[in-house]
Amino acid sequence: MLRFRVIGFPVRIEPLFFVIMGVFGLAGGRQGLYVLEWVVVAGSGILVHELGHAVAFRRFGSAAEIVLHGFGGYTTGAAQPPRRSMVVSVAGPLTGFAVGGLAIWLYRRTGSDAEFVRIALSDLIFVTIVWGVFNLLPILPLDGGNVVASALEQATGGGGRRAAHLISLVAAAGLAVAGFVFEEPYVAMIAAFFGFQNWQALAGARDEPALERLRLGRAALLQGDVDGAAEVAQQVSAGRTSARVQTAALELLAWAHLAARRPAGADAALHRLGGGVSASQLVRTMAELASGRPVASLGLAFGSCEDAVAAVVASGLVVEADRLDQLLEEVHALPAPQAATALRALQLGLHHSTLYREAARVGEVFFGREADGVVAYNVACSWACAGDAQEALSWLSRAVDLGWRDTAVLDADPNFDLIRTTDGFQAVRAWIQAAPEVPRATGPEGPGGPGL
Q: Domains in the chain: how many in total?
A: 3
> 439 pLDDT exceeds 50?
no
Q: What is the pLDDT of residues 373-391, one digit of tens each?
A: 999 999 999 999 999 999 9
Same domain, 375 and 363: no
Residue at which a domain ends, from 346, 367, 388 = 367
Same domain, 122 and 38: yes
CB 36 within 8 A of CB 47: no
Domain assignment present for 305: yes
Domain hosting residue 71, numbered range: 2-136
pLDDT at position 437, please?
54
Domain assignment present for 150: no
SS3 11: strand
Domain assignment present for 143: no
Same domain, 354 and 428: no
Is residue 277 very low, low, confident or very high in pLDDT (cuts 50, 70, 90)? very low
Buried b (16+ CB within 10 A) or exposed e, 15-52: eebbebbbebbeeeebeeebbebbbebbbbbbbbbbbb
pLDDT at position 449, please?
38
pLDDT at position 27, please?
82
pLDDT at position 242, please?
80
User: Which range, of 5-19, 69-83, 330-344, averages the lowest pLDDT?
Assistant: 69-83
SS3 9: strand
Buried b (16+ CB within 10 A) or exposed e, 398-419: bbbebebbbeebbeebebbebb
Same domain, 344 and 381: no
Domain assignment present for 156: no
Same domain, 332 and 439: no
Residue at which a domain ends, from 108, 136, 164 = 136
Same domain, 91 and 18: yes
Residue 144 to residue 151: CA distance in whole angstroms: 11
> 291 pLDDT exceeds 90?
yes
Q: What share of the chain has pLDDT > 90, as a percent? A: 67
Domain assignment present for 312: yes
Domain assignment present for 61: yes
Residue at which a domain ends, from 136, 160, 184 = 136
Q: What is the pLDDT of residues 166-223, one digit of tens each?
A: 999 999 999 999 989 988 888 888 899 999 988 888 877 778 888 899 999 999 999 9
Is residue 274 very low, low, confident or very high in pLDDT (cuts 50, 70, 90)? low
Same domain, 342 and 377: no
Same domain, 107 and 121: yes
Same domain, 7 and 119: yes
Instruction: Give the DSSP per-residue string, 66-87.
Output: EEEETTEEEEEE----HHHHHH
What does the DSSP 8-state code read for residue 223?
A: T
The answer to whether the pTM exceeds 0.75 is no
Domain assignment present for 205: no
Is residue 78 very low, low, confident or very high in pLDDT (cuts 50, 70, 90)? confident
> 94 pLDDT exceeds 50?
yes
Same domain, 126 and 18: yes
Same domain, 53 and 73: yes
pLDDT at position 447, please?
31
Same domain, 307 and 377: no
What does the DSSP 8-state code read for residue 416?
A: G
Q: What is the pLDDT of residues 224-269, one digit of tens each?
A: 999 999 999 999 998 877 888 888 999 999 999 999 999 999 999 9
pLDDT at position 71, please?
75
> 442 pLDDT exceeds 50?
no
Domain assignment present for 211: no
Whole-number average pLDDT of the chain: 89
